[in-house]
Amino acid sequence: MMILVHLLFLAGWLCVSWFAAGEFYKIAEDKGYHGKKYFWWCFLAPPVGHLMIVAMPDRGRDQQVVVNEDLPEL
């Protein structure tokens, strides 16, 4: 009976870890970093992978400079 409980816990942990790794992989892609290695780092070594994604700087993709000429000069 305890083996079944441990197997169910392990299966649940793997599912949650897979989902979290996928979300962090999407965040890495949004920041401009492409490669499945970011998914695998987050899946196989969650604390290290998650911190790596959080620490990545944004590569400036899709950023637009808004120029508002209505503001007075200072």
Does 32 map to a domain?
yes
The structural domain count of the chain equals 1
Residue 21: pLDDT band (50, 70, 90) is: very high
Does 13 map to a domain?
yes
- pLDDT for 22 equals 96
pLDDT digits (tens, 9 = 90+) for 27-66: 999 999 999 999 999 999 999 999 999 999 988 665 566 6
Does 70 map to a domain?
no
Does 74 map to a domain?
no
List the domain range (segments joined by +) for residue 18.
Answer: 2-55
Question: Of the candidates 17, 60, 21, 51, which has an alpha carbon nearest to the alpha carbon of residue 37?
Answer: 21
- pLDDT for 74 equals 72
In one letter, which amino acid is 55?
A: A
Residue 50, SS3? helix
| Cβ(39)–Cβ(21) below 8 Å | yes
Does 15 map to a domain?
yes
Q: Among 9-13, 21-25, 34-38, 58-62, name the one with the lowest average pLDDT.
A: 58-62
